[in-house]
Amino acid sequence: MDDHHHHEENSNKSRSLFSTGNSAQEKGFSYVPERYMVPTLQRPNLAPQYANNVAVIDIAALMNDNGSSSPQNRFRVIQEISDACRSLGFFQIVNHGISESVMEGAMSVASKFFELPAKEKLKLCSSDVRKPVRYATSLKDGVDKIQFWRIFLKHYSHPLQHWIHMWPNNPPDYREKMGRYCEEVKKVSIELMKALLESLNLNPKTTIIPVTKKLEDGMQVMAVNCYPPCPEPEVALGLPPHSDYTCLTIVYQNCQGLEIMDSTTSSWKLVPHVPHALQVHIGDHFEVLSNGLLKSVVHRATLHRDRTRLSIASLFSLGMDDKMGVASELVDDDDDKKKYRESSFKDFLDFLASNDIAQGKNFIDTLKIQDNNN
């Protein structure tokens, strides 16, 4: 056998060891294979600093649609959100209007799904990033140089009636309980996104109303994540550092493990766990819209030795082919002031299919326009 075929055979054998259904995290290995070990400088700290500068914002004034909330209260909340998004690009929200029973129902069916026998979950297995419903592990199924200690189910969720029939029908109440949560978190996302558009002082008629309408009709992707116990949480990650391609991402987690990059100190900080709070991330497309005023937060997922961490991430963007560009009011219609190219959700999927984000290739970097004067 020549060297080429020998290498190919070894490569295929190695890939099968880490592919969905055979991965170390699914099989509960008692050690971390080398393929999962991240470079020394990128390894997590088992006693991380907490992100004590993360705002916890009461958004009752945004969600109160019976007119009883004063304009002053609404303005104050928008200012708090604006401040958080111009510094960290991240905040937590309470009094968001989603009941504990709806949240816990979604978390319960997520947990039950991941507890299903492998054969059942593998019915939805796919490494095609464009599939509207797919179960997989790591980032790309056994392909990337570094694998991640994660199992996930992704599914499109808006309009709900268009996609829900493709979701898992086991556990039997998955569609009902996850669907209810999807509808509720969508309402929260619209109010937050309207608040952010207002905070940028954009023109209501030419920008805020049309963009809000596009967001109402846009993509909602649910990433239901499971990070099983890891025997050596100090050498592996659940997800590598990345920013979301979205306008906005809202995360509900059952325990801490989400870390954000604090750009003021260039250090990783662990997000404190606030029961029934939701974590809000600014995504790449809102950084683009704002011409860099809002910051797309870089984050990663760390692991626990003795417990499973679950998170339900709701990712909101424009429609598949809708382009998000810099708001014209922010650059006085002068293209030379634009810091970013426009792009769509489809553009992101094309990027994801052909790049390894674990190697530091981020979508937002492909959108930045270099200043020729520097």
Measured in degrees and rounded to the nearest 5, phi and psi for residue 325 equal: -125, 180
Give the pLDDT band of residue 373 (cuts 50, 70, 90).
very low
Residue 357 has pLDDT above 80, yes or no: no
Spatial CA neighbour of 343 closest among 286, 298, 282, 280: 286
DSSP 8-state secondary structure symbol assigned to residue 184: H
Q: Find out whether 84 and 55 touch, Cβ atoms under 8 Å.
A: yes
Amino acid residing at 283: G
Q: From CA 245, how far away is CA 251, in angstroms rounded?
A: 15
Average pLDDT over residues 124-135: 90
- Provide the terminal-to-terminal Cα distance of the chain, rounded to the nearest Å: 54
Report d(CA 360, CA 300) in Å as an integer. Answer: 12
pLDDT, position 1: 45
CA dist 37 and 148 (Å) reads 9
- Name the average pLDDT for the chain: 89
Among the ranges given (67-71, 290-294, 297-301), the one the predictor scored with the smallest mean pLDDT: 67-71
> pLDDT band at residue 9, thresholds of 50, 70 and 90?
very low
Classify domain 3-52+98-367 by CATH number. Answer: 2.60.120.330
pLDDT at 3 over 90: no
Sheet with 239-242, edge to edge strand ranges: 239-242, 299-301, 258-262, 267-270
Biggest distance spanned by C-alpha atoms of the chain? 78
Token duo for residue 179: 């669907």
Rounded to an integer, the average pLDDT of 226-250 is 95
Torsion of CA 287, 292, 293, 294, to 10 degrees: 30
Report the pLDDT averaged over residues 67-85.
Answer: 88
Statement: residue 12 has pLDDT above 70: no
Residue of 144, 164, 198, 169 lying closest to 353 (CA atoms)? 144
Domain ranges of the chain: 3-52+98-367
Contact at 8 Å (CB) between 173 and 181?
no
Q: What is the pLDDT of residue 359?
A: 63
pLDDT at 350: 87
- Which pair of tokens denotes residue 193? 């996104």
pLDDT at 129: 83
Buried/exposed 297-322: b ≥16 CB within 10 Å, e otherwise:
bbbbbbbbeeebbbbbbbbbbbeeeb
**Residue range 296-316: mean pLDDT, rounded:** 97
Tokens of 89: 């690009």
Ordered DSSP codes for 74-143? HHHHHHHHHHHHHHTSEEEEES-S--HHHHHHHHHHHHHHHTS-HHHHGGGB---TT-SEEEEESSSTTT
Amino acid 13: pLDDT: 45
Cis peptide, bond prior to residue 159, ω within 30 of zero: yes
Q: What is the pLDDT of residue 358?
A: 61
Instruction: Kindly report the three-state secondary structure assignment for every residue of 234-271.
Output: CCCCCEEEECCCCCEEEEEECCCCEEEEECCCCEEEEC
**Residues 97, 188 contacting (CB under 8 angstroms):** yes
Per-residue pLDDT tens digits for 82-101: 999 999 999 999 999 999 99
Nearby residues of 139 by Cβ (< 8 Å), 6 or more positions away: 148, 240, 356, 357, 358
pLDDT digits over 314-323, tens only? 999 999 999 9
Q: Tokens standing for 81?
A: 């959100």
What average pLDDT score do residues 187-210 get?
A: 94
